[in-house]
Structure 1
Amino acid sequence: MHKRILLRARKGPFDVLSAEETYERDWIGKNTGNLVFSHAAHKLLATSTAEITPSRFRADPRDADEINEKYDVFVIPLANAFRHDYAKRLTTMARLIERLKIPVVVLGVGAQTDVDGNLEQLRPIDEPVSAFCRAVLDHSHSIGVRGEITENYLRKLGFSAVEQIGCPSMFLHGDSLRIEKTKATLGIDDRLAFVISPYVKALAPL
């Protein structure tokens, strides 16, 4: 059966863009990690009968009728979306999903808190998160979360249809995640590479 899938992604994995255009129009969605997990989700869903369209991160409730007409399912891979500065976008997505008549699938959403998993920090966003989860579960059997902290958080909010599935990027190369460490220790001459998110001011001194 032919499936028309709307995938929440800034761009498709086969969209070729220059570095300048990527920067100017923010085709990475402020974080290169967004490309990794959305690419993995695209790869997981790609079959000979699937037509996958990236949403470009657009989530406007006014688009609901068009989405219902054009697509069979809305797939939403997410990262640390349960965080304070994402609450408004969760609310907007919830309003869109509430108006949809098609299934909605959430892959790998996570809660952002401290290293101890202190859920009290998340209390101010309980209502936006709950509204989002209620909307999704009206269109889906369960919500796929990143790990046990997020699962515990949602269960404390009263949601039982929660499954730990990790980040979609873990399945980029199939159903088995293999990590090969070629070197046991690092020396003073070893070269390192890391990525800094420019909007996280605490990383500037690094």
Structure 2
Amino acid sequence: MKGIDVSYHNGVIDWKAIVLSGIEFAIVRLGYGNRHLDTKFVDNVNGALAAGLKIGVYYYSYALDVEAAKGEAQFVRDVLQGHGIIPELGIWFDMEDADGYKERNGMPDNQTITDMCSAFICELNNAGYSYVGVYASYWWLTRVIDTSQLAEYVPYWNAQWGSKNDFQRARMWQFTDRFEIAGKLFDGNEYFG
């Protein structure tokens, strides 16, 4: 399946145009950091569902330790339960440092980053969500996060621009950050089911 991921950065989305372009799903940013809800989260979820798309959600982590990662997971749980949202295509823990926050505030070592991923996943598994995975670049999935320490059932969303997905365990592949639909740019994704 072909899909996009969306956040408030995309502004008001023409969901009809999205469907007409052949997109079948949207992964919607729920929020980021210490309990920050994406201002377009509810609108984007409702818009995608009303258009007939499948949805998943992602949370951009600013955690620097395991307790903070657990807190992010608890916030995700509270928001999903509070709005009655069931993300058919999973909950994704966005583990990267795109804006340099982690680097500026004491980049955790690789073991701590791996432990944070595990803590986020386990916290949501314990809350009844079975489909919880990790989003990261191919570099992070192969050189920072020790995926061998995470459970076999954990799904991965690999961000690797280009024509092929090299991370064999990926359930979803982000192949570009420049996917244009109706004059707006989105990240393009493939979901492998």
Between structures 1 and 2, the one with greater helix share? 1
Category of TM-score, reference length = shorter chain = 0.3 to 0.5
Determine which structure has more spread, i.e. the larger CA radius of gyration. Answer: 1
More strand by share: 2
What is the TM-score with the length of structure 1 in the denominator? 0.41
TM-score (norm 2): 0.43
